[in-house]
Structure 1
Amino acid sequence: MLTVGEILIKARSEKKLSLEEIEKKIRIRKKFLIALEDNDWDRLPSLPYIKGFLKNYSSFLGLKSEEMIAIFRRQFTLKEKSDLLPSGVTKPLNEPFIRFTPQTIVFTVFVSFAIIFFSYLFMQYRTITNAPNLQIEKPLEGEIIYSENVTVSGKTDPDAVVSVNNQKIVLSETGEFSTNITLPPGINTIIIESTSKNSKKKSVTRNIQIQNNQ
């Protein structure tokens, strides 16, 4: 089906009339006639003016103005407040906010890989620059222990090296450790130190009291 503009152009060409001639005859400015033929409603005034221009122009060319108005209405969608929007420009309320096209899919995949890559670099950087994690479960700070044999246990990074009072101890695959040390009666200080493979250190000090059980 021909558009409003195509019908107008065809009728004007058959009558061999120029836009300048029609402008003088029906007193509609040339720029508005061009807009009608181009179906460019944004360059026209409000809806009543568009209908009036179209009716006069159609009648002058020997076209049935009522049929032209009907074609115009089918071609375009009218909003409640008489705003005019071309069909195809108006968006349904349930239209997805994002349209998935090959370009958007490629872009999404690229961004996802970039995020993963830079997250990995950030985690590696933190691993290199941060001291290892070190959690001590036993003994507690200020704890009174009624035995000279004291259990020291906790958890650190699996690839770290742990020492208790400068004595290295063995870690499990998950970074857990436990060892027994002998301390004399009285107040004692236990220093637990964890050293990462990049020589970053973290230490925890426990002050405990060894009391003879008499």
Structure 2
Amino acid sequence: MDQFNQRAITDAATLGQKLKQVREQSHYSVVQVSEQLRIKPEYIEAIEQSRYTALPSGVFVKNYVQRYVKLLGLNWLTIQPLLEAELKVYQHTPDIPTQKRYLAKQPLQLMRVVIGLVILFAVIALAAYFGLEITNIVEPPRLEVVELPNQLAYADRIITLAGQTDPEAVVSINDQVIPVLPTGQFSQQMSLQSGSNLLKIEAKTKRSQPHIQYLQIYVEDQPN
């Protein structure tokens, strides 16, 4: 039973590992985080390694983690239950007995083992959900634009730019927001000018990086 619990905890992605992943993807160093939050670098490393006993006290743990989460632009209401679940696991884990005979003689200890396992499974489920949250934060939305010719006659300068994105994404053309249907489809009629026209198509959500594509279309001069 002891070996099973140790292996499950080791294989599961911890909150600290997730925070470290977001920090590295945001190009923050431990020193930079330490300077911005005014928290010792060793405390930042302790949080990322889930060594909560290395922090001054339980009050400091939640305060430090909450400030760290806000610096990374994450949702504290999503992170808080995961932190509390991990803290409970680390509180119960040292009490887990290793001898079956001892478990049989100590019903109270057996109950602690059951509670610890339930909390452990809850942590794993929350970690999986948190992983999906990070994916949504980091990855930009899908953006597919219908191909257009790169050169047009003056008479054909009025075009329709259409494409597909994620339903929750906001789409803009040259920083002008255009409507997006609930299906994620978008279509916008535009009048181009003579000469070279550079179109910047951008799709983004509130929590993601933008997905940007560029189209360059040349329109011939108006015939005399």
Specify if TM > 0.5. no
Q: Which has the higher helix share?
A: 2
TM-score, with normalisation over the residues of structure 1?
A: 0.41
TM-score, with normalisation over the residues of structure 2?
A: 0.40
